[in-house]
Structure 1
Amino acid sequence: MATRPGEIALLVNPSSGKGKGARFAAVASPRLREAGFGVQVLTGRNGAEAEDLARTAVAGGCGALVVCGGDGLVHLAVQALAGTDTPLGIIPAGTGNDVARYLGISRSDPRAAVDTVVASRRRRLDLARSGERHFVTVLAAGFDALVNERANEMTWPRGQMRYNLATLAELRTFTPIHYTLELDGASHQLDAMLVAVGNGPSFGGGLRITEGALLDDGLIDVVVIRPMSRPQLVRTYPRLFNGTHTGHPSYEHHRVRRVTVAAPNIVAYADGERFGALPLTIECAPLALTVIA
């Protein structure tokens, strides 16, 4: 069912955060109505249907598209919102919730997140774009992407532990990857553990891989982690949570408007979602997204 013009479209992933999506939506919907908003709840049976519902709601003139889920659902919503004036609101209910972290939205209290939507303060953010697809956080194109691929093939365990086990499994056989990077037209050949392309500073629940990335500077941040030993990688990993990895000699950081990343047999992930096989060209889409923050 299409939303009525001016109405909030509440896009819900019931299974986000081990059921938090459904629980938080049950809090959000009545509180929004009590505040005087019309609300149409939209629930897709899968990602493709959720994105279709988002596109229909935005095309129908909804007053805002509010997602109740994690960064994956934000990613789907952004495909419909990019380049429009329709704002994105977030009731974070996922595991990582990096976009909510960027915007100072409560990640633990759905009532506080709803109050942010009700206050309706808006700002515009850049997006990163590759072809017709956009992302908000970070595109992973190396060791971290391989871990994502392995974790997606696993059926047990659930949650963060699956990624921990996938990391250990991948680390046993990982060797540096040969990349071709084109940074604003300048070509570079190099070996690296990973290349990350950031619109924002973090992914994966606060891993600040692209520390220092700004959401409205018209640039994207490219981080290269040059080859290091397995013990070094294990020791450096915790430093990603506070951004102090930037002092490691294997770290390098570029700010560009456009980058092409090429490497064999790598499928990149963006906003935690499978994005596409390399090579990919990513550029900044300045101020392409309106958010409620």
Structure 2
Amino acid sequence: MRVSVLVNSKAGSVNADLIEAKVREALFRCDLRFSRPQTLTEMADFLNDEMTHKTNAIIICGGDGTINVALQCLMKYEDLSKIPPITIVRSGTANDLAHEIGVSHRIDRAVRNIFEGVVKNIDVIEVSSPEQKAYMLTNGGLGLPAVAAELANKFRNHLRTLSTCPKSAKAFRYLAEKSYYAVKKMGPGVYSMMTAEAIRTWNPDGWGLEIEIPGKVNVETNSPIVLVSNQQSIGASFLPAPYTSNTDGTVNLLLSETTTAQQHAMAALRIRKGNLEKFNAFKSFELREFRLKSQNPRRSLTFFGDGEILLKDVQEISIRCLHRGLPIMVRQ
């Protein structure tokens, strides 16, 4: 049995040597093919090569961001039934998909899902503009959520760059390195921290959206919080879509009609607690597809999904649910 093992050594809590040793021990009878790609091109080349050799299974060791990058490569195949079952080892900053499907924290138990689990075909969310197309599996959005995600990613990347900059003083590099690993250990907590900063710096001037829903009247909104969810929770603590499933063929759209920083913060707190019904500013929809358009040509849209910026500086975004598009191994 050929098993392709993708290890993102840059992910949040990865010890690549330990992961490889645990996988080899748990799957000692398999024909294992490992890759620790340093670039997106290396990752794409590895996955394409393994698909060409008709690998029987893929193991992805990393967080939601790693899974998302791999997803972009796999979704290039027109016949999605050719994608082999995917097993996840949680080891990233954000592990929302692993949390949602109940992946064990133990590496050996997680990889044994190949033999001891069952295939669960989950929905894939297609996110596109006239010029670009991307995919996501968990949660995404625009407005304040996208600002928070972008701030978190920039903060981590800035610390990583400072920690390796040869022009910086040794003591400064040491502090930057320690700060970087502290942020990695925070996991999804870094997004909560950046949500506060996003609210503090949010500029509502010119912000407005028109939402086109097939068969329904268009919706106009100034909501600064626009969340698109394929599963219930974000970061294992925010609960924007408590009744959503990643196998029902629909995606949840959540709007928050708030206007002040205090109201934005209250909305974020309500989402964190999962009690959306008690806050009249929320509007929630379960949809198969819809389109978001900026009402102001000078205010472009940025969309994040699975913790990554998927589309940036576009005027319109189309969202579509691809029902049960990806095979994932889970425990019953």
* TM-score (normalizing by structure 1): 0.88
Q: Which residue of 1 aligns with 2:45?
A: 52
Greater Rg by CA: 2
In structure 1, the gaps of 5 or more residues are: 1-5
- Quick check: 1:168 aligned with 2:203? no
> Does the 8 A contact of 1:227 with 1:250 survive in 2?
yes
Whole-Å Cα distance in 1 between the matches of residues 54 and 148 of structure 2? 39
Whole-Å Cα distance in 1 between the matches of residues 57 and 17 of structure 2? 20
Aligned residue for 2:235, secondary structure, equals: coil
Q: Using a 3 Å threshold, how does the CA distance of structure 1 residues 151 and 32 change in structure 2: closer, same or farther?
A: same
Q: Which residue of 2 aligns with 1:260?
A: 291
Q: Which moved more, 1:48-57 or 1:119-128?
A: 48-57
User: 2:322 is aligned with what amino acid?
Assistant: A
Whole-Å Cα distance in 2 between the matches of residues 14 and 235 of structure 1? 37
User: 2:254 is aligned with what amino acid?
Assistant: V
CA shift for structure 1 position 259: 1.2
Q: Which residue of 2 aligns with 1:179?
A: 209
Q: Which moved more, 1:56-65 or 1:79-88?
A: 79-88
Give every structure 1 segment of 4 or more consecutive aligned residues whose post-TM-superposition deviation is greater than 6 Å.
none
Identity of aligned residues (%): 21
Q: Which residue of 2 aligns with 1:3?
A: none
Whole-Å Cα distance in 1 between the matches of residues 279 and 23 of structure 2? 43
Q: Which residue of 2 aligns with 1:140?
A: 141
Q: Which residue of 2 aligns with 1:123?
A: 120
Q: Using a 3 Å threshold, how does the CA distance of structure 1 residues 26 and 284 change in structure 2: closer, same or farther?
A: same
Q: Which residue of 2 aligns with 1:11?
A: 6
Aligned length: 285
CA shift for structure 1 position 229: 3.0
Q: Which residue of 2 aligns with 1:284?
A: 321
Q: Using a 3 Å threshold, how does the CA distance of structure 1 residues 29 and 49 change in structure 2: closer, same or farther?
A: same
Q: Which residue of 2 aligns with 1:88?
A: 86
Whole-Å Cα distance in 2 between the matches of residues 162 and 138 of structure 1? 16
Residue deviations 1:201-230 (CA, integer Å, cap 9, x gap): 223344222332111111111111111432
Matches within 5 A, 1:268-279: 268-277=303-312, 278=314, 279=316
Q: Which moved more, 1:180-189 or 1:270-279?
A: 180-189
**Aligned match of 1:214 in 242, 245, 248?**
245
Residue deviations 1:177-220 (CA, integer Å, cap 9, x gap): 31111122542211102111122222334422233211111111
User: 2:115 is aligned with what amino acid?
Assistant: V
In structure 2, the gaps of 5 or more residues are: 160-178
Q: Over aligned residues, Cα RMSD in angstroms?
A: 2.2
Q: Which residue of 1 aligns with 2:165?
A: none
> Does the 8 A contact of 2:65 with 2:94 survive in 1?
no
Aligned residue for 2:66, secondary structure, equals: helix
Residue deviations 1:148-173 (CA, integer Å, cap 9, x gap): 22233332453246545533332223
Q: Which residue of 2 aligns with 1:41?
A: 34
Whole-Å Cα distance in 2 between the matches of residues 10 and 171 of structure 1? 39
Q: Using a 3 Å threshold, how does the CA distance of structure 1 residues 55 and 185 change in structure 2: closer, same or farther?
A: farther
Whole-Å Cα distance in 2 between the matches of residues 192 and 245 of structure 1? 15
CA shift for structure 1 position 39: 0.9
